[in-house]
A and B are shown apart, each in its own frame.
Chain A
Amino acid sequence: MILRLVFARVVDLVFVLFCVSVIVFLMIRLIPGDAVAIMLGANTEITPERMAELRARVGLDKPIVVQYAHWIGPALTGDFGRSLWTGRPVIDEIVVHVWPTVQLTFLALLLGAGLAVPAGCLMARLRGRFADVAMRIVTVIGLTVPNFWLGIVMILMLATLAPTIQALGYVPFAQDPAGHVGRLMLPAAALALPILAHLSRLLRSAMLDELQQDYIRTARAKGIAESAVVYVHALRNALIPFVTSVGILTGYLLGGAIVIEQVFAIPGLGRLILGAISERNYPLLQATILLVTSGFVTVNFIVDLLYMAIDPRVRA
């Protein structure tokens, strides 16, 4: 039974990934202007013979289905072709830039989700008219604060309060572990705030729901300490919707990271994507969008499986 469910999800996953790859492939084909003319660039004279030669070399003279097959086949083995400008394999450029973004996303998720648990529990205990209104306003502010602006304000405050601390840039972990984590903290915090607001609110309402359930009354009747009732019995079940949200929030974080990297001068995927757009480096852009989206889809797939593992009701 479970195996059949898992199998169905895997089929779903493969289908979605296939469709995503088709969309990413077609997206670049839709760009107005001829990619070949752009590739030839301004420094070479564009003659029809040259265009035809290059077209044949890149395979642009073949039917579109063949072109797709030629693109996706090697891509499955990690070969996304070469960057139009540097001539290096696209995958190498992505590998260099992917770590800062993944670390940033992960750290922000850790911060946001980690702090949301105590914050949500605390918020569930505060009830009443004034507390409800205050918490609502605070969480809505948290949800709507532009994270890139928050980043800028943080840099400004740090520069004023502690001018000696270097907040911008990125240091590889191997070079300076403390500096590495330290410099990722501010951007991660800016990125995490909306998640913290979202998750703590979600947890609060889930906790309030759970605390009204019969099993809580039973636990209390058995004489279990109130703190154990709240933090062990109620929290465990209240965390279920929390886990599902984490998957969806990864998508938000990946997008947010692209922007926040620009604020903090972090050489991650954001810089790669923006560079690829301004250079019209389409193989690189295609590969980056495909890989990031595949990563996001896979995270959600794993969350789905986790969800089945922790909530037996889904398996029924």
Chain B
Amino acid sequence: MKKLARNKLLVFATAIVVLQLLVAALAPLVAPYDPVAQNVLARLRGPSTGYWLGTDQFGRDVLSRVIHGARTSLAVSVAAVAAALVMGGALGLLAAYYRGWLERIVMRVMDVLFAFPVLLLAIGVVAVLGPRASSAAIAIAIVYTPIFARLLRGPALVICESDYVVAARAIGAADWRIIFVHILPNLMSVVLVQTSLLLSAAILVEASLSFLGLGTQPPTPSLGLMLSEGRNFLMISPWSAVFAGAAILLLAFGLNLLGDVLRDTLDPRLRGSP
């Protein structure tokens, strides 16, 4: 019974995430209006049949901007987390496999990067690269690399000690073969869970950076930017800010719930842990 509830939750979370990915991928087809087209005669309107979520200060359709903004958010976050997974994963795996001085140096460097508060390091990186969507992506990738390295090194160490890896070594399998054929597939559940959770967190970091004016720049639709622009018209027409924030919440919520439920389903050892 309990298992069934869990699977229902898994279906629910997967449905939210897949739906959002589809809407973001098909944004130009799904959005009712051009997200940057202005209609000065219909500024700061509330939700209506013509504009489902109302319009912003330039008379742009909020729904279309939310859809395209979600697309931008996801594009930046997915690219950043993918890069962090490849870099951090590679470092963590190599550290676990080769041990010795390589492991010590790699993990030391990761520790130092880990010492910075996430958002502060991201802000610092953007300050160096200049405020741009690509800088935000690079910043998130740098911030999450040590997290992936740490998360994957632990389980990789356990697998490296296992009998089948020792056996593979004994029959003379090449290092790359052991890493790709024997170790990596066994890390897939950890990778899947953590990617989902960190993607959820990356959505929030991207939104924060854009909100501060350090990420995606206008007029490109961005959820964080919509929030900061909408803030100036809060008392006249809060729709743009309210719906943009709700969209950020929905994106982050779906991914976090998915990672959370996957963790329970894929890794029985972690069941019940936060």
- Chain B associates with chain A: yes
**A residues engaging B (CB < 8 A)?**
16, 19-20, 23-24, 27-28, 30-32, 129, 132-133, 136-137, 140-141, 143-146, 148-150, 152-153, 155-156, 159, 198, 201-202, 204-205, 208-209, 250-252, 254-256, 258-259, 262-263, 273-274, 277, 285, 289, 292-293, 296-297
Asked whether, in the complex, the Cβ of B128 is within 8 Å of the Cβ of A31, the reply is: yes
Asked whether, in the complex, the Cβ of A140 is within 8 Å of the Cβ of B253, the reply is: yes
Q: Is B117 an interface residue (CB 8 A)?
A: yes
**B side interface size, CB within 8 A:** 50
Q: Chain A residues with Cβ under 8 A from B117's Cβ?
A: 250-252, 254-255, 292-293, 296
Q: Chain B residues with Cβ under 8 A from A27's Cβ?
A: 124-125, 127-128
Query: Which of A32, A133, A277 lies in contact with B123, CB distance below 8 A?
Result: A277
Asked whether, in the complex, the Cβ of A140 is within 8 Å of the Cβ of B256, the reply is: yes
Task: Report the minimal beta-carbon distance from A121 to chain B, rounded to whole angstroms.
Answer: 15
Q: Chain A residues with Cβ under 8 A from B58's Cβ?
A: none
Q: Chain A residues with Cβ under 8 A from B257's Cβ?
A: 136-137, 140
Asked whether, in the complex, the Cβ of A285 is within 8 Å of the Cβ of B127, the reply is: yes
Q: Is B158 an interface residue (CB 8 A)?
A: no
Task: Report the minimal beta-carbon distance from B211 to chain A, rounded to whole angstroms.
Answer: 6
Asked whether, in the complex, the Cβ of A141 is within 8 Å of the Cβ of B9, the reply is: no
Q: Is B238 an interface residue (CB 8 A)?
A: yes
Q: How far is the CA of A152 from the CA of B207 in the complex (A)?
A: 14
Q: Chain B residues with Cβ under 8 A from A150's Cβ?
A: 245
Q: Is B260 an interface residue (CB 8 A)?
A: yes
Asked whether, in the complex, the Cβ of A19 is within 8 Å of the Cβ of B118, the reply is: no
Q: Is B248 an interface residue (CB 8 A)?
A: yes
Task: Report the minimal beta-carbon distance from A211 to chain B, rounded to whole angstroms.
Answer: 12
Q: Chain B residues with Cβ under 8 A from A32's Cβ?
A: 130
Asked whether, in the complex, the Cβ of B119 is within 8 Å of the Cβ of A259, the reply is: yes
Asked whether, in the complex, the Cβ of B124 is within 8 Å of the Cβ of A289, the reply is: yes
User: How does the 8 Å CB contact mask read for B162-196 relative to A, with 1 for contact and 0 for none?
Assistant: 00000000000000000000000000000000000
Q: Is B29 an interface residue (CB 8 A)?
A: no
List 11 other contacts, CB 8 Å, given A129-B5, A148-B211, A153-B245. Answer: A20-B115, A27-B125, A137-B257, A140-B256, A202-B274, A209-B272, A252-B117, A258-B123, A274-B213, A277-B127, A293-B120
Q: Which 7 A-B pairs have the closest CB atoms?
A: A255-B119, A149-B245, A251-B117, A144-B252, A19-B112, A202-B274, A201-B274
Q: How far is the CA of A263 from the CA of B242 in the complex (A)?
A: 14
Taking CB atoms and an 8 Å cut-off, the chain B residues in 121-143 that contact chain A are 123-128, 130-131
Residue of A nearest to B5 (CB): A129
Asked whether, in the complex, the Cβ of A24 is within 8 Å of the Cβ of B274, the reply is: no
Q: How far is the CA of A149 from the CA of B225 in the complex (A)?
A: 12
| Among B5, B123, B127, residue most surrounded by chain A Cβ atoms (within 10 Å) | B127
Q: Chain B residues with Cβ under 8 A from A205's Cβ?
A: 272-274
Q: Chain B residues with Cβ under 8 A from A202's Cβ?
A: 274
Q: Is B212 an interface residue (CB 8 A)?
A: yes
Q: Chain A residues with Cβ under 8 A from B248's Cβ?
A: 146, 149
Contact sample, A vs B, 6 pairs, CB 8 Å cutoff = A132-B2, A144-B249, A250-B117, A251-B117, A254-B119, A289-B120
Q: Is B15 an interface residue (CB 8 A)?
A: no
Asked whether, in the complex, the Cβ of A129 is within 8 Å of the Cβ of B2, the reply is: yes
Q: Which of B43-51, B80-88, B227-235 contacts A (4 or more CB under 8 A)?
A: B227-235
Q: Chain A residues with Cβ under 8 A from B52's Cβ?
A: none
Task: Report the minimal beta-carbon distance from B75 to chain A, rounded to whole angstroms.
Answer: 18
Q: A19-B112, A20-B112 are in contact. Are A148 and B253 (CB under 8 A)?
A: no
Q: How far is the CA of A285 from the CA of B242 in the complex (A)?
A: 32
| Among B117, B119, B204, B257, residue most surrounded by chain A Cβ atoms (within 10 Å) | B117
Q: How far is the CA of A153 from the CA of B239 in the complex (A)?
A: 11
Residue of B nearest to A149 (CB): B245
Task: Report the minimal beta-carbon distance from A307 to chain B, rounded to whole angstroms.
Answer: 17
Residue of B nearest to A250 (CB): B117
Q: How far is the CA of A308 from the CA of B13 in the complex (A)?
A: 39
Asked whether, in the complex, the Cβ of A297 is within 8 Å of the Cβ of B115, the reply is: yes
Q: Is B34 an interface residue (CB 8 A)?
A: no
Q: How far is the CA of A8 from the CA of B109 in the complex (A)?
A: 18
Residue of A nearest to B273 (CB): A205
Q: How far is the CA of A205 from the CA of B256 in the complex (A)?
A: 18
| Among A24, A150, A251, A254, residue most surrounded by chain B Cβ atoms (within 10 Å) | A251
Residue of B nearest to A289 (CB): B124
Task: Report the minimal beta-carbon distance from B228 to chain A, rounded to whole angstroms.
Answer: 8
Q: A252-B117, A258-B123 are in contact. Are A198 and B274 (CB under 8 A)?
A: yes
Residue of B nearest to A200 (CB): B274
Q: How far is the CA of A27 from the CA of B115 in the complex (A)?
A: 15
Asked whether, in the complex, the Cβ of A23 is within 8 Å of the Cβ of B112, the reply is: yes
Q: Chain B residues with Cβ under 8 A from A145's Cβ?
A: 249
Q: Chain B residues with Cβ under 8 A from A204's Cβ?
A: 274
Asked whether, in the complex, the Cβ of A208 is within 8 Å of the Cβ of B253, the reply is: no
Q: How far is the CA of A202 from the CA of B249 in the complex (A)?
A: 21
Taking CB atoms and an 8 Å cut-off, the chain B residues in 197-248 that contact chain A are 200, 204, 207-208, 211-214, 227-228, 231, 234-235, 238, 241-242, 244-246, 248
